[in-house]
Amino acid sequence: MKFFLAALLFFHGIVLTMAQAQAPAKAQAPAPGPAGPTNVTAILSKAGQFTMFIRLLQSTQEADQINNQLNNSNSGLTIFAPPDNSFSNLKSGLLNSLSDQQKVQLVQFHVLPNYISQSEFQTASNPLRTQAGNSNDGEYPLNITTSGNQVNITTGVVNTTVSNSLYSDGQLAVYQVDQVLLPLAFFRTPAPAPAPVAAKPKKGAKEADTSDDDNTDDSSGAIELVNFGLSKVVFAASLVASIYMVL
């Protein structure tokens, strides 16, 4: 009987140890801790309604650029994020008519190379510097006008307004804008088109995954863990039972 109890405790210990060894790796996956580097994709998918902008950020590799810049610079960044409905308001076919290079510039036009808090807009001077082109050569101007908390934006093509502050941590600010910010450069009567720069080989135009996929993975992972644990328990129980019978 003593041996039976000892065996039971022994196998119980093995099962617990195995379950514990498995658990932490799985538990860390769903929640990227706040300590990790800032992830602009994660911020936008948490805000919801930004799948088109996220897709552009990813297909142009700008999401990685931005994350790297945030990890390596002290001046921070400001991002104007247009929601999905603003993309459906674009003239149809416009997005598809852009070259890969223009798509990069479109995304970069929504990113300012410094952190601007809501109150700092009031003292910012026009044109604002963006990561696209040169704000002073008249091709990529982005001007704002403010009144109290209201911030309006004009690009010379689009007039819109900052409708919401989505994220701000002193290094990265993300604001929702009501329209896609189209730069003047895209609409200038074509000066002899700049010799099509040997189009970069299409970098893996990864389609943006929605975060739903991650959730599915995580839950199925959890089920696997439960199954794994259960089979161990059954195995241990049958071992204990056979030892008991031998005695």
Ligand X SMILES: *[C@@H]1O[C@H](CO)[C@@H](O)[C@H](O)[C@H]1NC(C)=O
Q: Which residues bind ligand X (CB under 6 A)?
A: 37, 39, 41-42, 45, 67-68, 71-72, 126-127, 141, 143, 145-147, 150, 152, 154, 156, 159, 161, 211
Identity of the residue, 13 or 138, whose beta carbon is nearer to ligand X in the bound complex: 138
Q: How far is the CB of 67 from ligand X (least distance, A)?
A: 6
State the Cα–Cα distance between residues 130 and 156, nearest whole angstrom.
15
Give yes or no for a cis peptide into 82 (omega within 30° of 0). no
Q: What is the DSSP letter of 119?
A: G
Distance of CA 71 to the CA centre of its chain: 14
State the Cα–Cα distance between residues 111 and 130, nearest whole angstrom.
6
Compute how many other C-beta atoms are within 10 angstroms of the C-beta atom of residue 167: 17
Identity of the residue, 173 or 185, whose beta carbon is nearer to ligand X in the bound complex: 185
Q: How far is the CB of 135 from ligand X (least distance, A)?
A: 9
Identity of the residue, 6 or 29, whose beta carbon is nearer to ligand X in the bound complex: 29
Q: How far is the CB of 173 from ligand X (least distance, A)?
A: 18
Spell out a b/e string for 147-158, using b for 16 or more CB atoms within 10 Å of the CB, else e: eeeebebbbbeb
Identity of the residue, 114 or 146, whose beta carbon is nearer to ligand X in the bound complex: 146
Q: How far is the CB of 211 from ligand X (least distance, A)?
A: 5
